[in-house]
């Protein structure tokens, strides 16, 4: 049985080990040409100690946008949801932070992401123990840590905050603490675009839990769940008054230039066809070929794990995972899917439930190798997800 101290120790060991890809990348792999805009030195002069190759890569790509929003508010980066940069801003002010890319903001953002992930691991383990044996909970935590894009949880990204709030929402719901569950769920909706998937999931959990034992509907118990949509509604109102369009953040997503459709659903078979076309026509020496292969592979594996989870995990968990997966899957591209999958904890439970030695060995070897390679590439300005 793992306790809190054991989980923290496991996290710390993992956290130290994932510095190795950064060391190797810095020594043998030049920073990708034309990718200087993906790290903070495009926006400010290098300074000690953040100029260390073991530190600044954690703010690559989306990280620079979160830092900018935290210090300066929205400006051509409206596709990012507000809760994580808001927390960075609030905490930074306690330490007299003032510059978007200064040391206070950088270390605050990095510290928060890491703390959120440690708490996520603890609550993931605790949540799984409500339904499964300890071995399943332990294996799920292990699988999540080894997942090839798990490094995003400890980068300056919103994934760790999103996962923590998501797990707390479900845990409180399982304890019938509907007010706490709804407050966490409300915050989930303003952390990442797919956060609204928590709303139908918690509604289902409420009706299943409360009506299975008591056929009389209690509006008093249901009232806290009305808080759930308030987070995303407030963000829609903000977008309307700031940009004249309540859905402006979606418009900003569509302008990113990654073929993502925000105005219409694109059936995944069309996207799969396009990916096969890329794999058959683009030379393998091009980096984009390998990213396309990664994205397509992740899509297929996700579908398999969702199918397994359908009958294996709690229905409310599955509802969330299915909706959160289908939203990007129907957007016309699988870009970002390897990262989006990392927060879909029901899929890791489904994987852990197999407890097959071959599955464990194959996953451990392949995931560890991919984690090393992808983190090394990410640290050198290569887009991953």
Mean pLDDT by 10 residues, the chain (385 residues): 94 98 97 86 93 97 95 87 96 82 95 99 98 96 98 99 99 97 98 96 94 76 95 95 88 68 78 95 95 97 95 96 95 94 98 90 97 98 95
Q: Answer yes or no: are the C-beta atoms of 25 and 380 closer than 8 Å.
A: yes
Closest CA to 87 of 118, 113, 61, 62: 113
pLDDT at residue number 76:
80
Q: Which two tokens stand for residue 13?
A: 């060991």
> What is the Cα gyration radius of the chain?
21
pTM of the predicted structure, to 2 decimals: 0.95
pLDDT in tens, 2-38: 899 999 999 999 999 999 999 999 999 999 988 878 8
pLDDT at residue number 211:
80
Q: Which two tokens stand for residue 207?
A: 């009706």
3-state helix, strand, coil in the chain (%, to 5): 70, 0, 30
Judged by phi (left if over 0) then psi (alpha if -120 to 50, else beta), residue 257 lies in left
pLDDT at residue number 273:
94
The 10 Å Cβ neighbour count of residue 52 is 12
What separation in angstroms does the CA of 298 have from each of 182, 270, 335?
A: 31, 16, 10
Place of tokens 């359908």: 310
Closest CA to 371 of 359, 385, 358, 357: 385
Place of tokens 């060995």: 361
CA atoms in the 13 A half-sphere facing the CB of 344:
31
CA atoms in the 13 A half-sphere facing the CB of 233:
8
Residue ranges per structural domain of the chain? 4-379
What separation in angstroms does the CA of 149 have from each of 8, 14, 41, 378?
A: 20, 13, 24, 10
pLDDT in tens, 256-296: 655 565 566 889 999 999 999 999 999 999 999 999 999 99
pLDDT at residue number 301:
96
């Amino acid at each position: 049985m793992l306790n809190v101290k054991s989980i923290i120790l496991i996290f710390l060991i993992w956290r130290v080990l994932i510095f190795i890809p950064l060391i190797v990348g810095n020594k043998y792999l030049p920073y990708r040409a034309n990718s200087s805009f993906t790290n903070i030195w495009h926006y400010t002069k290098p300074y000690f100690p953040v100029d260390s190759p073991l530190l600044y890569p954690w703010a690559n790509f989306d990280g620079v946008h979160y830092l900018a929003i935290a210090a300066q508010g929205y400006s051509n980066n409206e596709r990012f949801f507000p809760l994580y940069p808001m927390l960075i801003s609030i905490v930074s002010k306690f330490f007299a932070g003032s510059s978007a890319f200064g040391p206070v903001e950088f270390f605050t953002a990095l510290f928060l992401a890491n703390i959120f992930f440690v708490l996520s691991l603890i609550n993931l383990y605790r949540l799984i123990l409500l339904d499964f044996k300890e071995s399943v909970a332990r294996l799920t935590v292990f699988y999540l840590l080894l997942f090839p894009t798990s490094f995003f949880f400890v980068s300056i990204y919103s994934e760790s905050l999103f996962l923590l709030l998501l797990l707390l929402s479900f845990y409180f719901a399982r304890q019938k603490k509907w007010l706490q569950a709804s407050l966490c769920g409300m915050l989930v909706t303003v952390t990442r675009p797919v956060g609204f998937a928590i709303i139908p999931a918690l509604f289902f959990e409420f009706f299943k839990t409360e009506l299975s034992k008591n056929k009389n509907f209690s509006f008093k118990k249901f009232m806290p769940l009305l808080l759930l949509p308030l987070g995303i509604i407030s963000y829609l109102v903000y977008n309307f008054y700031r940009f004249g369009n309540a859905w402006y953040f979606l418009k900003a997503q569509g302008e990113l230039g990654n073929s993502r459709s925000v105005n219409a659903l694109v059936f995944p078979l069309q996207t799969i066809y396009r990916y096969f076309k890329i794999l058959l026509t683009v030379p393998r020496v091009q980096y984009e070929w390998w990213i396309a292969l990664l994205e397509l592979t992740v899509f297929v594996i996700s579908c398999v794990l969702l199918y397994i989870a359908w009958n294996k995990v709690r229905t409310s968990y599955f509802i969330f995972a299915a909706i959160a997966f289908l939203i990007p899957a129907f957007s016309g591209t699988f870009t970002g899917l390897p990262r989006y999958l990392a927060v879909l904890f029901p899929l890791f439970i489904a994987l852990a439930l197999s407890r097959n030695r071959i599955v464990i060995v194959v996953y451990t070897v392949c995931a560890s190798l991919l984690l090393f390679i992808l983190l090394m590439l990410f640290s050198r300005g290569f887009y991953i997800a």
